[in-house]
Amino acid sequence: MSEIEHPFDAETWEQLPAFFENLPEPVQLTVWGDETAGGNEREAARLCRALADRFEQISWRMLPRRVNYPYYPVIGVMGRSGDEETDYGVRIIGLPAGYQLTSLITAVQAVSFHGQTLEPLTRIKLRQLPAPVNLEVVTAADNEAGALVAKIAFGMAVNSPLVRAFLIMGDLFNEVVLRYSINYLPHTIINGRIHLEGVVDEETMLKHIAKAVRPG
């Protein structure tokens, strides 16, 4: 498949089949942005197109920018069955590069495996959530730990219709870092008010989610 144009280094391109060749369910990558604008939006399209060209279980499409949304590109990782699409609320804001290519891989796996990338007890507790949860994981291309937190956040979004997970490339959108006064990556924000620094496990994330949805 060397004729496929792709943005990966040779080693990463060689390793991708281990992650994507045996996906149990199809996945659709939806890119919001303007490919003709160049830069990261063009590269996001190139990235997703290359994966779709190489792997049978992955498809992709490009959609235009949305009104009044400032950050592009946006990559949505969705389930697909025939012409039907399932949006689990899994999003990557900005071009995933460096260690965050691993986050893209974990997002695809979470969707394809229907969230079974999480522990069974975590999945049970997520089904008991009483209110919506937004998880924002701010990270960067050189932040290896960000991919660990993103894996948990994406798995939670797939397991519960009340959870949405956003990985935000803070090195591309400095205004996000300033808005939340972030000094350390990864930085996770739950429902805009609970902040976690560094790597957290599933149990810790669940405890803080419980605080975020607690009445009053």
**Residue-wise pLDDT tens digits, 77-128:** 999 988 889 999 999 999 999 999 999 999 999 999 999 999 999 999 999 9
Closest CA relative to residue 159, chosen from 188, 116, 202: 116
First and final CA of the chain: distance in angstroms?
Answer: 56
Helix axes 144-159, 202-213, angle to 10 degrees: 60
Mean pLDDT computed over 141-165: 98
Q: How many percent of the chain have pLDDT more than 70?
A: 98
Whether 153 maps to a domain, the answer reads yes
> Residue 174 sits in which domain range?
10-213
- What's the confidence (pLDDT) of residue 1? 42
Whether 143 maps to a domain, the answer reads yes
Task: Place 9 in a pLDDT band, splitting at 50, 70 and 90.
Answer: confident
Mean pLDDT computed over 152-178: 97
- What's the confidence (pLDDT) of residue 216? 64
Q: How many CB atoms lie within 10 A of CB 23?
A: 17
Whether 161 maps to a domain, the answer reads yes
Q: Are strands 74-81 and 90-93 parallel, antiparallel or unpaired?
A: antiparallel
Residue 187, pLDDT > 60, answer yes
38 or 88, which is more confident: 88
Q: Judge contact between 92 and 147, C-beta under 8 A.
A: no
Whether 174 maps to a domain, the answer reads yes
Whether 1 maps to a domain, the answer reads no
pTM of the model: 0.94
Residue type, 62: M
Q: Which residues pair with 135 in a beta bridge?
A: 165, 190
Whether 67 maps to a domain, the answer reads yes
Residue 204, pLDDT > 80, answer yes
Tokens read off for 208? 């803080």
Whether 4 maps to a domain, the answer reads no
Task: Place 215 in a pLDDT band, splitting at 50, 70 and 90.
Answer: confident
Q: Where would I find the H helices in the chain? A: 10-15, 17-20, 39-54, 100-112, 120-126, 144-159, 174-179, 202-213
- Give the CATH number for residue 101: 3.40.30.80
Residue 210, pLDDT > 70, answer yes
Whether 3 maps to a domain, the answer reads no
Tokens read off for 188? 């996770």
Tokens read off for 170? 């803070």
Domains contained in the chain, number: 1
Task: Place 48 in a pLDDT band, splitting at 50, 70 and 90.
Answer: very high
